[in-house]
A and B are shown apart, each in its own frame.
Chain A
Amino acid sequence: GQNIDQPTEMTATEGAIVQINCTYQTSGFNGLFWYQQHAGEAPTFLSYNVLDGLEEKGRFSSFLSRSKGYSYLLLKELQMKDSASYLCAVRDKRNFNKFYFGSGTKLNVKP
């Protein structure tokens, strides 16, 4: 089976740094993805990790530890527009185009 856990909601202040954690237990693993989803919109791709370590992309970074079944998304210099849900998704090892999504973390950025 697949189990992906994320915190339901987080609040942070504009200009600050926030870390959104994701833990997973899957029968097979072929990469972990982070998506951003603004209310009422489709998810958009943020980052992809398949090997252990940190991937940096501007203000956003994502970290993966496969042995611990753990990832985090780090957002720096928070902006109001970063208020959104952040979805963690694991790609299945055998069904390469199948993704399992967490329920998402709703991030509220306040002034």
Chain B
Amino acid sequence: EAGVTQSPTHLIKTRGQQATLRCSPISGHTSVYWYQQALGLGLQFLLWYDEGEERNRGNFPPRFSGRQFPNYSSELNVNALELEDSALYLCASSLEVRGYAFFGQGTRLTVV
């Protein structure tokens, strides 16, 4: 069974640009969440999508947005990039009945 896959693995952008990160959940999982992990910090909840809709978002500005497609894959968009956005962005998916989240390997975003 394929796990959660994320692309790209690494992304380098300049300040002010936009970044798009992609995530494919485990087959059958309808919920996708995005987390940001800045260097030395814990996982910070960004967004939760389920059945194509945004169910909840963390304490991040509106320039962090995303969407979930009919096949349950998801995109995270970060507009007007700032240096502080440099972090590992992790995507996870879960089946409600399983109770725990499976994580992808992450996209390391570097803003220069």
Residues of A whose CB lies within 8 Å of any CB of B are 31, 33, 35, 41-45, 48, 87, 89, 91, 95-104
Residues in B whose Cβ lies below 8 Å from that of A95? 48, 55-56
Is B42 part of the contact surface with A, judged by Cβ < 8 Å? yes
Is B106 part of the contact surface with A, judged by Cβ < 8 Å? yes
Q: Please, could you name 15 A-B residue pairs with CB atoms under 8 Å apart, sorted by A?
A: A31-B99, A43-B103, A44-B103, A87-B42, A87-B43, A95-B56, A96-B96, A97-B31, A97-B48, A97-B50, A99-B101, A101-B44, A103-B42, A104-B42, A104-B43
Residue of B nearest to A102 (CB): B42
Is B33 part of the contact surface with A, judged by Cβ < 8 Å? yes
Asked if B100 contacts A101 (CB within 8 A), the reply is no
Besides A45-B101, A97-B101, A103-B42, 5 new A-B residue pairs in contact (Cβ under 8 A), listed by A number: A45-B102, A48-B99, A98-B48, A101-B44, A104-B42
Per-residue CB contact flags for chain B residues 22-54 toward chain A (1 = under 8 Å, else 0) read 000000000101010000011111001010000
